[in-house]
Amino acid sequence: MTLLPRRFFFLLLIMSSGASIAGQSFWKDVTPESKLSPDQVTSIQFSNEITSIRYFEANEQALREFLALVPHELSGDDSYTIQLPMPDGSQTRYSIVESPIMEAGLVGKYPEIKSYLVDGIDDPGAFGRVDMSPKGFRGMIYTSQGRIFIDPDWQNPTIQRYLSHKSSGDADSSGFQCSANQLVSNRTYTPVHSFGTQNRIAGNLITYRLAVSATQEYVLAPNVNSNGAGNELSDALAEINTAINRVNVIYQRDLGIRLVLVANNDFIIDVDGTSDLVGFNNNGLAMLSVNQGWIDSKIMSINYDIGHVFTTGGGGVASIQAVCNDLIKAQGVTGLPDPTGETFYIDFVAHEIGHQFGAEHTFNGTTDSCLFNRSLSATTFEPGSGSTIMAYAGICGAENVQNSADATFHAGSISQINNFVAGAGNCNTLIPIAPANADPVAIAGPPRTIPLGTSFQLQGSGTDSNPGDTLSYQWDQMDAGTATSSTTLGDDFGDNALFRSYPPQPTGDRDFPALGTQVADGPIDLSEALPCTSRIVNFRLTVRDNKSGQATDDISLTVDGASGPFRITSFNTAQTIFTTSPFIFNWDVANTNTGAVSCASVDVDLLTFSADHKTYAVTQLLSNVVNNGNQIITLPDNSNSNARFRVSCNSNYFYDISDADLTIQNSGGGGAGTFDTTGNTTFFNTNGQVFATSSTCVAAPIATGGGSGGIDGPWLLFLLSLPYWARLRQQFI
């Protein structure tokens, strides 16, 4: 008889039982009863980057055989289904297609290194990228529960054990410094209020040929060379592939850009310490020109669009608007002593490549590292250290908004990159997306005049002509003004950013300050400060389809200095309210019923929270009643121990919530019940760390000079410490 190969039998298994059934055998939960805490993680790579983690064992051979059969994204064939392990011990179904980020010539030399695109089935809005190599299976996936990572536990390589973990968003970025090498002759400044004009290339995947070199120190780093002696080149290339695969998740979602490693990328990885890169591992500034010459000499300038180098030095530097410019397009450096993991990929590599695509720093603080690297142009959109990719989360001392960057670009950064890509950075290749993917439409809402010192909610929305697309929403303030310090963060200078950015959310409604911050009964978050001066506050809504399409819409709010704060004046202390009797509810109109605001009527609602304040429901008590400061209220005969009142203008965005949890006691009779608490999820600032003890509205005097600094010579270099954590700034004019 004729013996058929094992691969053929595996194909028959998939055809007969479905890829999802085959996928069930890939993972075995080795901790079925409980999650592991971060201090139980044996792999040092992840010890400070996670909140929840689970160990799985993989049938790696079966997984490799399955992935070898997955169709290419451009083949037109139906995607396969795979189950992936989640940190809670579950396995979730995803559609999967092969999606290479290496040119065909490099794939041919290293067929064991592959990349894939996954989209959620059980979790329809989920998406991400995974890869397989001799280093194992790796993945970064955006889910409804947050950003999920799947990585090998390299401390136990023989048993094929994997870590499925959730990003904490609070990894440590300390020790890193970015020095943006900004050639003014190569930059086009855009006034902040003109950032609405975006030369966006829609309907196509914008691809760039990327050359990533590596120093020998990087190649030999323990978590890079995880397979040991004899595997240095393949391990380094696999690690570079993983890094760029994860960077591509963000760049494709936010910008429609995909970076593809060039065919001869293996020529520029220094395995034996004989390259031009030797001696510059810890000198990022000098490495700029060295890397440019090294890549040009090894693979020729005509064969790549953007170049970068990975090191183990403690910093990053990149020339701004370098992509496509033959003189500087390889001038990008990123290094950490452990150049792997979420912090390296997202906070640092994505950041430095962002500079090469024209994006500048977005933080507005001046404390610690923020002092010497604040942008000199109109891009200081984020309070304090900021929290997006082009900000400085974690390295600005008392102005740190959080310890590491969220994996998202600020709307201002997206505008800068879109404009650059459509202009000087147009050496790309456009690949039509099949099936066609139309950009969504964003609707931010009409402009309004609001009182000062008063919370408000913007209610954005979006539409998409592509069936099945799941939209996400991100609100960003677009005001770049007077710099803040550790003592003035949270002050309103009349032109500065007051509200931090948050990652994309499944709804377009955004409370300012974040609702979770308002009801947390703790210190006030200084990165979410209410406007306290007569001014204009500008916001941008970015709607993403989480494939490659995005759209924006802007809204301006006029803050009226003659009205506000609009405040509830009763029930601001913890107390019990009985449903058996009506009562008088009071609020301070604060001139909001006349003048520029002219809010004639309000709505009064009862918010009933779950015990942990993470979900709540809304019960409307009064609708469209006169804005006169008092009304008589009768409550439904239900109970709740975490309730608050809200009064809001029914023709505007502003509102107030009472200051303390109230206990609602029902009558105890036959019609008595319990208020629902499950209607909505609160928007918590879970990473915030810049706090004050009160919510005093602070209108600060506007300092002369605007706090944006200046330069006294052809270039300015600050050198504060050595060696690899040197804090550098280079500014050429």
**What sign for the dihedral angle of Cα 371, 327, 355, 426?**
positive
Binned at pLDDT 50, 70 and 90, residue 158 comes out as low
pLDDT in tens, 337-396: 999 998 999 999 999 999 999 999 999 999 999 998 898 768 999 999 999 999 999 999
**Whether residue 631 has pLDDT greater than 60:** yes
Is residue 642 a contact partner of residue 661, using CB atoms and an 8 Å limit?
yes
User: Rounded to an integer, what distance in angstroms lies between the CA atom of residue 723 and that of residue 717?
Assistant: 15
Residue 561 has pLDDT above 60, yes or no: yes
Q: What backbone phi and psi angles, to 5 degrees, belong to 482?
A: -60, 135
Confidence of residue 730 (pLDDT cuts 50, 70, 90): very low
| Residue 1: predicted pLDDT | 41
Q: CA geometry: angle at 531 spanning 525 and 535, to 5°?
A: 155
pLDDT digits (tens, 9 = 90+) for 590-618: 999 999 999 999 999 999 999 888 899 99
Report the range of poorest mean pLDDT among 24-33, 107-116, 248-257. 24-33
Instruction: Give the pLDDT score at 179.
Output: 58
DSSP lists the bridge partners of residue 114 as 132
Contact 431, 252 (CB under 8 A): no
How far is 353 from 338, CA to CA, in rounded Å?
19
Question: Greater confidence, 667 or 566?
Answer: 566
- Tell me the pLDDT of the chain averaged across its residues: 85
* The pLDDT value given to residue 15: 42
What pLDDT digit, counting tens, does each position of 173-224 carry? 454 556 565 443 333 334 444 454 456 677 789 999 999 999 999 999 999 9
Amino acid identity at 323: V
Overall pTM surpassing 0.95 (yes/no): no
The distance in angstroms from the start CA to the end CA of the chain is 78
Q: Is the pLDDT of residue 20 over 80?
A: no
Set out the domains of the chain in order of their start, with CATH numbers.
27-31+51-166 (no CATH), 176-185+195-359+409-436 (3.40.390.10), 567-681 (2.60.40)
Per-residue pLDDT at 639 exceeds 70: yes
Pairing between β-strand 691-692 and β-strand 524-525 as defined by DSSP bridges: antiparallel
Dihedral over Cα of 403, 404, 408, 409: its sign:
positive
Confidence check: pLDDT of 24 > 90: no
Alpha-carbon gap, residue 70 to 80, rounded angstroms: 6
Least confident window among 38-47, 298-307, 368-377: 38-47
Average pLDDT over residues 681-706: 61
Percent of the chain's residues with pLDDT above 70? 81
Residue 689's pLDDT is 64
pLDDT grade for 703, boundaries at 50, 70 and 90: very low
